[in-house]
Amino acid sequence: MIEYMKFVTKNMKYRNRNADGYNALLGTARAVKDKLLSDWFYPNHRENKWAQTYIYGSEINCNLGTAAKVNMILHGDGSTNIFVKDGLLPFSKYEKETAPNALHGSDKNELYQNREVNGQFDLILTNPPFSVELDNDIKKSVKHDFMFGEKKNSENLFVERWYQLLRENGRLAVVLPESVFDTTENKYIRLFLYKYKYFTIKAIVSLPQISFEPYTSTKTSILFAQKKTAAEVKAWNDAWDSASKEYSHLVTQTKNLIAVANGTKQKAKLPSIKKLTAKQEREVLAKMLKNYLTELDDELDVGALINKYSEELDDLCTIDKDTKDTLGFVNTWWVFDEVASKLDYDVFMAEADNIVYKRTKRGERPMPNDLYRADLSGDILFDDGVETTILDAMRKIDWN
């Protein structure tokens, strides 16, 4: 929080200053000038005073939270918005004596199953606790306040909390365990992030295994994402509903084709397929098996396809029970793949080999930082026009 505070102040006060003494890139309106030249940034001993209004933090550990408050005061304040409380509390529980308090209020949001959304924040920077045991009071409240309050992984509850906190188009840069992105038990939160409405993924940067040692050896990544607008959510939901209806129809037809091929049912008595030609029957199976068929299968008839892909068809016709309450009675990955093909976009992905330091028996020695570049004075270069090998890592993400 302190580094973020210092970073903002430095760029507001000192970068691109004109003759009037302020950063003209921020705008020339009177209100902008008044803020930049006010006591929010001057005099120097209180140059971080703006943080009293705009920086918020929460920390459940009393010692750490108190230390953060003291540290913020020593660096020019912002301490009034540090809450020494659990980060998953209902918003009404974040109370303080001084105003304003952007964290306190919330409203029901139709796009979020009429649950409470705060929607007051532009940017979230955090490293949430991984797989910690919640106390009994928090367990009761999250069941009511979160879509996936029954799930066990605490980091996934925080993904929901970030949605609740951000404004439309608000952004986040967060550290998460890599298991969020590739394990079956975390499938639901990937769907929350990408399908289940809520975020546009901008980038995922894999960090070195030693990043948080000796405290934990958990492999982590930084997720960069942006909260969708209501219109974007609706577009995705419409596409999802359309693909879900198509899936339901295909499942009925596929199951009946399998039953006919196995001799357990008669085609003439099955309304969903009785009028289909052999070509149309094959098209049904090809659509269901869209990610499995190869050119070698072009000559196979319906019976041969059913025989060759019996296990795959069985899996594809199976409803995902763990997501049925939120995503419907569908095979989520079949529907997801259908929607993603229509609303697809590129995601920047990279792997960082070095992030500033390397621990040795003699302490720490400086290392290159793959996460940013700086000039000789140490200032971060936002856009220096230099392409690096990390850009070669750009590719489409595979959410399966």
Domains of the chain: 85-228+346-393 (3.40.50), 242-339 (no CATH)
Q: Are strands 220-227 and 166-177 parallel, antiparallel or unpaired?
A: antiparallel
The string of DSSP letters for 54-117 reads: H--EE-S-HHHHHHHHHHHHHTT--GGGEE-S-TTS-GGG---SSSP-TTT--EEEGGGTTEEE
Say what the pLDDT of residue 395 is: 35
Number of C-alpha atoms within 13 angstroms, CB side, residue 366?
1
Say what the pLDDT of residue 300 is: 92
Residue 276's closest CA among 298, 297, 250, 295? 250
Average pLDDT of the residues in 121-134:
90
The string of DSSP letters for 377-397 reads: TS-B-S--S---GGGGG-B--
Vertex 167, ends 166 and 170: CA angle to 5°? Answer: 70
**Strand (E) positions, the chain?**
57-58, 82-83, 107-109, 115-117, 121-126, 166-177, 199-206, 220-227, 348-351, 355-360, 363-369
Q: What is the pLDDT of residues 250-280, one digit of tens each?
A: 999 999 999 999 999 999 999 999 999 999 9
Q: Kindly report which listed range (218-222, 294-298, 300-304, 340-344) carries the lowest average pLDDT score.
A: 340-344
Q: What is the pLDDT of residues 162-189, one digit of tens each?
A: 999 999 999 999 999 999 988 888 888 8
How far apart, in whole angstroms, are the C-alpha atoms of residue 316 and residue 284?
13
Structure tokens at 66: 């108190």
Structure tokens at 366: 């400086």
- Residue 23 in this model has a pLDDT that exceeds 70: no
Identify the residue whose tokens are 């304003």: 100
Q: Are 189 and 142 in contact (CB under 8 A)?
A: no
Structure tokens at 71: 């540290």
Q: Are strands 57-58 and 82-83 parallel, antiparallel or unpaired?
A: parallel
More confident residue, 151 or 391: 151
Banded pLDDT at 358 (limits 50, 70, 90): low
How far apart, in whole angstroms, are the C-alpha atoms of residue 329 and residue 214?
44
pTM metric for this prediction: 0.82
How far apart, in whole angstroms, are the C-alpha atoms of residue 111 and residue 192?
12
Say what the pLDDT of residue 30 is: 77
How far apart, in whole angstroms, are the C-alpha atoms of residue 150 and residue 147?
8
CA 204 to chain centre: 10
How far apart, in whole angstroms, are the C-alpha atoms of residue 200 and residue 178?
18
Average pLDDT score, the chain:
84
Q: What is the pLDDT of residues 291-337, one digit of tens each?
A: 999 999 998 999 999 999 999 999 999 998 878 877 889 998 899 89
